[in-house]
Amino acid sequence: MRLALWAALAAWLLVLDDAPARAQEGEEPVAPYVQSDANAGATPIDDPAVLAAFNGRDGINRIVDRTVDLSLEDPQLGPIFQPFDMVRLRRTLKEQFCYLLGGGCTYTGRDMSASHADMGVQTRDFNLLVQHLRTAMREEGVSNRMQNRFLAVLAPMHRDVVQR
Ligand code: HEM
């Protein structure tokens, strides 16, 4: 019994320790979760040529902001994104893309299943988002070949984002 209590306390402290202690500036609080780069959902691309093609962290940040802007303006996707905290989404997406593109960032967000649970995202939504991401990458001057290398990393996340 005492052991069980200690185990519960240890597990609780572990969660508290790993989760962001409180909401970041300008963001709404979220329920505690275990923070890990593994939550980013894939292994980073280990090729400096790819990071260079995206114009480093500044380029990645511009691409994320443009993708989110285009998604919010989209009549199909806008209403899906609108109710959520876009300050947090922009920050965690920038971290995730930077991490996956080998930019040396830490991903502090939730995993892809938890992030999209009960949202009802369908394949056509997923494809629209990819289309907006392609536009943003093209505007940043990322070649088709380099775009495809990144999209190949994101594509398997379909199974965790889209609801059947
Ligand atoms: C490969 C594709 C996708 C990736 C990599 C991705 C990535 C992310 C990330 C990193 C977060 C934030 C996690 C957090 O707050 O801890 C998030 C949340 C979110 N995503 Fe996605 N996403 C993808 C596809 C989609 C699609 C297709 C939609 C809808 C059309 C969508 C809608 C949302 C919304 C509304 C949130 C906010 C959820 C919340 O605040 O609770 N995502 N996504």
N- to C-terminal Cα separation, the chain: 42
- Is the CB of residue 121 below 6 angstroms from any atom belonging to ligand 1? yes
pLDDT at 7: 54
Cβ(39) – ligand 1 distance below 6 Å = no
From the list 69, 68, 72, 93, the residue with the least C-alpha distance to 82 is 72
70: confidence class by pLDDT, cuts 50, 70, 90: very high
The CATH number given to whatever domain includes residue 153 is 1.10.490.10
DSSP conformational letter for 40: G
Q: Is the CB of 68 under 6 A from ligand 1?
A: no
Return d(Cα 25, Cα 134) in angstroms, integer: 30
The pLDDT of 125-134, averaged and rounded, is 98
Q: Which domain holds residue 83?
A: 2-161
Tell me the mean pLDDT in the region 41-70.
Answer: 98
pLDDT the model gives residue 9: 43
* C-beta 98 within 6 A of ligand 1: no
Q: Is the CB of 96 under 6 A from ligand 1?
A: yes
The answer to whether 80 and 136 have CB atoms below 8 angstroms apart is: no
> Is 64 in contact with 101 (CB distance < 8 Å)?
no
pTM exceeds 0.85, yes or no = yes
- Number of separate domains in the chain: 1
DSSP symbols for the chain: -HHHHHHHHHHHHHHHHHS-SS--TT----------GGGG-SPPP--HHHHHHTTHHHHHHHHHHHHHHHHHHSTTTHHHHTTS-HHHHHHHHHHHHHHHTTS-PPP-S--HHHHTTTS---HHHHHHHHHHHHHHHHHTT--HHHHHHHHHHHGGGHHHHS--
Question: How many angstroms does the Cα of residue 114 sit away from the middle of ligand 1?
Answer: 9
Mutate-to-test residue for ligand 1 from 30, 61, 108, 116, highest number of ligand atoms within 8 A of CB: 116
pLDDT band at 164 (very low <50, low <70, confident <90, very high): confident
